[in-house]
A and B are shown apart, each in its own frame.
Chain A
Amino acid sequence: MVRRENSIADLMDKFVCVRVIQMNAVDLAQYQFDYDMSFAVFFQNADGAIYGRFGTRSTGPQEADKEITMDGLRAAMEGALALHKAYPGNAAQLAGKRGPEPRFAVPERYPKLGQFKPELDYSGKLAQSCIHCHQVRDAERDYLRRAKQPISDRDLFPDPLPDAAGLTLDKDTRATVEAVAAGTPAAVAGLKPGDEILAAAGQPLLSTADFQWVLHNAGDSAQIPLRVRRAGKAADLDLKLPSGWRTKVDFGWRTSTWDLRRIAFGGMKLDPDPEGNAKAPLLVKHVGKYGEHARAMKAGVKVGDRLLRIAGLESPPTESAAITHVLRNVKAGEPIKMTLLRGSREIDVTVEAQ
C-alpha cells in the first residue's frame, strides 16, 4: 500500500492516508476494532464519524491473508467514499459504528500497561516502547481478573467471523454472501449465496470486518435486522442468534490467547491430538519456560502430555473450551486441578489460576 499498489492508487488520492504503528495514546473510544489484527483499516470523517472498518483474520500469521484481498479493500474504499459524499445526511446510520465508552481512555492507563509512555522511545528501545494492538485486549482481561470480575463472552469471543452465524462472505466484495450453512441462523433468516448485505443493525457495511463489528456488539441472543440486495431488489431479513451462539467460536489462533493460556493453564498450549484420543483429545504442545508462563512447567506438565480433565471438565474438546471453562469457574489465585495422561499413566497437577 505504501508503494501505492496499482489497483487502489486512484482511490488513495481521494483519502488522507495515515499509518499508525502503535496503540500508545490511541483514543480507545474512537478506535475499537479487532485488536488481534496485525493489519486493520479505519475509514472515518475528520470529525470522527466512522464510515467502516477493514481487516479480518481467522488464523495465525501463516495464513494472515486468507480473508482479505486488494479487491475487497478497493470495494471498501469505494463504499467509504460514497458514505463520505452522503455525510452528514447519513450520520444516524453511522452512529452504531462507534463502540461503547471504554474502561480507560488510552491503553497505557490499564494497570498491565502502566509501564508504557504515550510516546514511543525513538532515542532508546523503540520496539519495546510500543503497545501492540493485542495488548489492549490482554489488558482488559487482566483488569477483570485482578478485580475478580468475570470476563464477558464479548471480551472472550471478540469480533466473531460471519461463520458464527452460519455464513461466509466473499472476500473480494464488501459483504456479498458466498455460502450459507444448512440449519444455521443465516439459513433460517433466508440468506442465500449472492445476496449483497447492504446493512446490518441499520449500519451500512463496507467489509466483512463491519459485519464482525455488528456481531461483536450483539447480545448473548440477538435479532439483527439485515437489508440485502438480491437480484437487484432490496429485501429485509432478520438474523436471529440463539443464546450461546458466540461461544462456539475457536479463538486459539488469536495472539491474545497467549495471555489466556497464562491465566487459565499456567502457560501451556493445547493442540488437538493427532491420534484422536476421544478421552483426552488435547495434547500439550508447549509449556512456557519464563515468568508467569512457567507455572504449568514448574507444576510438572510436560510437552506430549494429554489432558483428561481440568477444573472438573472431562475431556475438553478444544483449547478454547478448556480456557472458557477455567475462566468461568476458577477465580484468580484459586487452584486449577488437572489430570494428565502421560503414556498410560494418569498424573494429577495443580496450578494456581492467574
Chain B
Amino acid sequence: MKTPLAILALAAFSLGSALADEPKKTRDEMVRDDIANLETREDWIYNDLEKAAAEAKAAGKPMMIVFRCIP
C-alpha cells in the first residue's frame, strides 16, 4: 500500500499536538514548536538558504528545499 506523502508530511510537521486531550495550540505556538523541533536536528537546515547553499557546495551535495507552510 502506498503511503500518501502529504499525510506523512502533515504528521511530521505537526509536532506532538495530536493528543486529543491536549488544549488546542495557537498557530504561533505550533510554529514555535516546529522551529524548536527543526533547530535541534542536524539533518535539516531551518529557513536558511544561504547556509544550505554553502554546506551543499562544501559537501558536493545537491540541495533539497522543502517549502512547507507553517503548521
B71 to chain A, nearest CB (A): 9
Contact residues on A (Cβ < 8 Å of other chain), bracket? 35 or more
Contacts of A14 in B (CB 8 A): 61-62
Contact A19 B63 (CB under 8 A): no
Give residues 80-133 of A contacting B (CB, 8 Å): 80-81, 83-84, 125-127, 130, 132-133
User: Could you mark each residue 1-30 of chain B with 1 if its beta carbon is under 8 Å from any beta carbon of chain A, else 0?
Assistant: 011111111001100000000000011100
B24 to chain A, nearest CB (A): 14
A15-B61, A44-B65 as given contacts; A126 in contact with B28, CB under 8 Å: yes
Contacts of B45 in A (CB 8 A): 16-19
Contact B67 A31 (CB under 8 A): yes
Among B4, B44, B47, B63, the one with the most A-chain Cβ atoms within 10 Å of its Cβ is B63
Asked if A7 is at the interface of the complex by the 8 Å CB criterion, the answer is yes
Contact A73 B68 (CB under 8 A): no
Which candidate, A32-40, A190-198, A268-276, A327-335, is the interface stretch facing chain B?
A32-40
A18 to chain B, nearest CB (A): 4
A33-B67, A40-B67, A43-B62 as given contacts; A18 in contact with B49, CB under 8 Å: yes
A33-B67, A38-B69 as given contacts; A73 in contact with B5, CB under 8 Å: yes
Across the interface, B44 reaches (CB within 8 A) one of A17, A39, A43, namely A17
B6 to chain A, nearest CB (A): 3
Across the interface, B62 reaches (CB within 8 A) one of A26, A33, A40, A80, namely A80
Give the CA-CA distance A7 to B11 in the complex, in Å.
Answer: 16
User: Could you mark each residue 165-177 of chain A with 1 if its beta carbon is under 8 Å from any beta carbon of chain B, else 0?
Assistant: 0000000100000
Across the interface, A1 reaches (CB within 8 A) one of B32, B66, B67, namely B66
Give the CA-CA distance A44 to B49 in the complex, in Å.
Answer: 11
Contact A2 B62 (CB under 8 A): no
- Residue in A closest to B12 when the chains form the complex, CB atoms: A2
A90 to chain B, nearest CB (A): 13
Give the CA-CA distance A136 to B29 in the complex, in Å.
Answer: 25
- Residue in A closest to B61 when the chains form the complex, CB atoms: A16
Among B38, B54, B70, the one with the most A-chain Cβ atoms within 10 Å of its Cβ is B70
B37 to chain A, nearest CB (A): 7
Contact B12 A18 (CB under 8 A): no
A132 to chain B, nearest CB (A): 6
Give residues 40-57 of B contacting A (CB, 8 Å): 41, 43-49, 52-57
Asked if A77 is at the interface of the complex by the 8 Å CB criterion, the answer is yes
Asked if A64 is at the interface of the complex by the 8 Å CB criterion, the answer is yes
Contact B69 A133 (CB under 8 A): yes
Asked if A20 is at the interface of the complex by the 8 Å CB criterion, the answer is yes
Contacts of A31 in B (CB 8 A): 65, 67
Contact A41 B65 (CB under 8 A): yes
Contact A21 B68 (CB under 8 A): yes
Closest 10 CB pairs between A and B? A65-B4, A65-B6, A46-B57, A46-B56, A15-B64, A127-B27, A84-B62, A18-B52, A16-B56, A42-B65
List 18 other contacts, CB 8 Å, given A40-B68, A125-B28.
A12-B64, A13-B43, A15-B62, A16-B59, A17-B64, A18-B49, A19-B68, A21-B70, A22-B70, A31-B67, A33-B67, A43-B63, A46-B54, A46-B56, A68-B6, A84-B61, A127-B26, A133-B67
Chain B residues close to A by CB (< 8 Å) = 2-9, 12-13, 26-28, 31-32, 34, 37-38, 41, 43-49, 52-57, 59, 61-70
